[in-house]
Each structure stands twice: as structure tokens, then as C-alpha cells.
Amino acid sequence: MQTFIQRPLNRRSFLKGLGLSVGASALSGPMFVWGQEGVTIGAVIPLTGSLASFGPRFEVAARLAIEQVNAAGGIPGLGIVQLAVRDSGTNPDVGVASATELVNTVGIQALFGAAASGVTIPITSVTVPAGVFQISPSATSPALSGLQDNDLVFRTAPPDSLQGIVLADLAFNKQGYRTIAIIARNDAYGAGLADSLKANFEALGGAVSNVSLYDPNTADYSAEISAASAGNPEAISLITFEEGEALISQMVAAGVTNFDLFVDGNKNQDLVTRLVAAVGADALEGIVGTAPALANTAAGAAYEAAYRQRLNESPFVFTPHSYDALAVTCLAIARAKEYKGSAIAANIRAVANTPGTEYTFGQLGEALAAAAAGEDINYVGVSGAVEFNAQGDPFGPVGTWHVAGGLIVDDQTVDCGFAEDGSAFCAELD
């Protein structure tokens, strides 16, 4: 097991961590300026809003991949890679406006982001008609799988159709629950993961007494708390972002303390630390959850060391997937021999899926040369296999975690993927 200690991270501390002044433009434009030569990839990530602690960390991981690409001379035949970052605000309107500016003004052909599914999906209304390739490191809603996207939208985080399997297994077989309720955000992410948990928990023989979906902009959760508590379920699963602090505080104030079964959206040490201060460590002790995980491989360990060197913390949730998203995008551009959205999409499986020569963290230079030479390569990511199915969904490990002494502690990682018929599967927890 490994204890995660994560510090609050905002724009100021991020810039300081990169050795830049607070007035620098690292969060609003390219990190490298090399004239007209090269490739500019857009990024729409949360620097404000309910996922503001995620965005700067995603950028650290993305830039780590870009720096390794540029250290090898950039993309063969195309040059140095730059990253143009815009804020999503964790808001669909802000995200769409940022993506529109990147597509129409900057002229990007590849977009990294967004973080939330509820922002990522609206952004596809900009990227898909423009023929722009889009890849998210953390949009996990099953709704992405069915998008009519001309095969332009991909993700490196496994969808919640996989996380729901592991979460249900954790609830039913590990925690021993037979009845649960669910309180979740009423958006593509929250509703999608709630549906997946409910279906998989009931398939195991459990009962879900209530699913309450709340407006992410609400400040009063009394109706959802009352509905979820009715019938005295053994546990109430919470599928939240930062607003989970207010929800849990109101639950404790109402005497409802049987919350458990957290997820990736609330696997956030900053959030847990605030909750401990608000409601006490005892209320959080032993809480369990799931989240897409860092691969338990030598490449995963090498990535962890590199990330820790930048931010002095263990990899934040979805930062391995951020690194992989930029790495596989650059490899697909190299194989396509042009920076064009449809060409990137047409080549992404050829650089990520088996068969092919395997390349991983620390080998991007060799992988770029092989991809540019038209060789069949198999990029093995720090987040897992990064094998894309027909819907642009990857295979990938999902991990379990718990809270002990106010700290998030990782437990077990299980492999997940898709069968030939498209059905999802995950290994059982030990």
C-alpha cells in the first residue's frame, strides 16, 4: 500500500513549481516558442471551478510528455511540440468557448481535454464538425462511448462501465453491503457512474434503494440526503467533485454518517483534508473508493518518480492518463506524417494497440522514430495498456483505496477491459 499526500495546488504554486514567475504565461499559452515550425496542441482543462485542483496537475503530466518528445527533437518532420492551455472552468459553456478559440483562432488539430465528462461532451460539438482530434485523460462517462464522433474522440481513462464493476465488487464482496443508496451529480459523469454501480451491484445480488441526482450548482442537499436515507441502506455511495465537502458536512449535521463507496471524482487529498477539518477524522476513517489507477509496472514507477520530482507528491488521480494522452497523440501525429485531426485519429490505434514493438515511458524518442518510419508500434502507457477499442475507450487498471488517519491510501489494482463482443470485464478483487 502507498500513502498519497497531496498538497493544494493552484496557478501560483504550479508556476512556482516550474520555476516561473506568477506573471508568466505557462497556463495560457505555449511553453516553447520556436517560430512557425512545430505543432501546437490545444488543452482545455480546469483551472477554476469544482475541479480546479485537477487542471494544473494534468498540465504538469502533459508537459512532462511534451518535454520528452521535444528532447528527442520533436515530431520527426514536423518539429517541436507546443501546448496551448485554456481554462474549462469545469463548466460546459466556458469549455466550449475555450475550445472554439483554440480551433478557430489558434488553429489546433488536436485537443487534450476536458476533464469532466459534462464538459468534454459539449466540446465535441466544436471539435467533431471541425475535424479536430480530441482526447480526454479523465472523462469517464459511458455516454462518450456512444457519441457520433466520426472516430475523432478518444480517452485514456477507462470508462465508468469498468469502474462500476470494481466499485460494485468492493461494495458487495469486500464491504459486505447488501443494500445501498447513491447520491450523485446530475451530469454525464455522475449519472453514468451511478447507473453502472447500480446495474453491477444488483447483478451481484444487492439492492439499490434510491438514486438521488443533484444539481451540481446547488447549495442545499437536504432533499437528496433524506431520499437516500429512506429505508436505512447499509451505505450511501457519493459520486461528487469538490462539492462533496458541502454534501458530507450537511450529512453529518443531519446525523447521516453511513456514507461510503467514494469514486475518482472525490479521490482528492485536498478535499479529504478539508473534510477532516470540517467533520472530524473519525467520520472519514475507513471510507473506501475506486478510481482509474497508475499501472503497477516499472514504467509506472518511473513516471511516479518524474512526477514527484516536479510536484513533491504522489501522482494525482488521472495524471498518468494525462501523460499517456499526450504521448500517444504525438506518436499518432508522427505516424500520420501530418498534423491533421482525421489523420491522427486514423493512426492512433496503430501506435497504441497490439501487435507491434512495445515502447513506454522513457522511450518516446525511439517510439517517435519508429512511428514516423511507418512501423507498427505498441505504446504501453504508465496508466496501463492504452488499447483503444472501436469506441475510443481504453483498457486500463482500476484501483481501490481507503482513508486512514485522514490520508488517502491506495490498496489494490485490478485489470479491466472489453471482450470481443464489446462487453466490459474486470478481474475480481482479492
The whole-number average pLDDT for the span 274-289 is 96
Contact between residue 41 and residue 112 where contact means Cβ atoms under 8 Å apart: yes
Taking the CA atoms of 312, 317, 322 and 325 in sequence, report the sign of the dihedral they define: positive
Q: What is the domain partition of the chain in residue ranges?
A: 161-285
Number of H helices, E strands in the chain: 14, 17
What pLDDT was estimated at residue 219?
Answer: 95
Question: How is domain 161-285 classified at the architecture level of CATH?
Answer: 3-Layer(aba) Sandwich (3.40)
**Mean pLDDT for the stretch of residues 251-259:** 97
Percent of the chain having pLDDT more than 70?
91
Q: What is the mean pLDDT of the chain?
A: 91
Give the C-alpha separation, 351 to 397, whole Å: 20
pTM: 0.88
Query: What pLDDT, on the 0 to 100 scale, is given for residue 157?
Result: 93
Residue 319 neighbours by CB under 8 Å, 6+ apart: 57, 58, 60, 61, 137, 307
Which of the four pLDDT bands, split at 50, 70 and 90, describes residue 339?
very high
pLDDT at res. 61: 97
Residue showing cell 490498496: 411
Under the banding of pLDDT at 50, 70 and 90, the label for residue 51 is: very high
Q: How far is CA 79 from the centre of its chain?
A: 28
pLDDT at 26: 38
User: pLDDT tens digits, residue range 125-163?
Assistant: 999 999 999 999 999 999 999 999 999 999 999 999 999
Looking at residue 36, its pLDDT comes to 40
Average pLDDT over residues 373-393: 93
331 grid coordinates = 506518436
Instruction: Give the integer Cα–Cα distance in Å for 416 and 407.
Output: 26
Looking at residue 20, what is its pLDDT? 36
Residues facing residue 407 across a β-bridge:
404
* pLDDT of amino acid 17: 45
Q: Where are the alpha helices (DSSP H) in 319-388?
A: 319-336, 341-352, 364-372
**Percent of the chain predicted with pLDDT > 90:** 83
pLDDT in tens, 217-249: 999 999 999 999 999 999 999 999 999 999 999
What is the C-alpha separation between 388 and 348, in angstroms, rounded? 8
Give kind and range of the element (H or E) at residue 191. helix 188-203
Interval 80-134: pLDDT, tens: 999 999 999 999 999 999 999 999 999 999 999 999 999 999 999 999 999 999 9
Q: What are the distances in angstroms from CA 413 to CA 78, 245, 269, 297, 329?
A: 38, 26, 19, 11, 26
Residues 6 or more apart in contact with residue 335 via CB below 8 angstroms = 347, 350, 351, 371, 372, 374
What pLDDT digit, counting tens, does each position of 300-310 carry?
A: 999 999 999 99
Q: At residue 71, does pLDDT exceed 70?
A: yes
* pLDDT the model gives residue 423: 86
Q: Would you give the end-to-end CA distance of the chain in angstroms?
A: 14
Q: Is 319 exposed, middle or buried (0-12, 13-18, 19+ CB in 10 A)?
A: buried
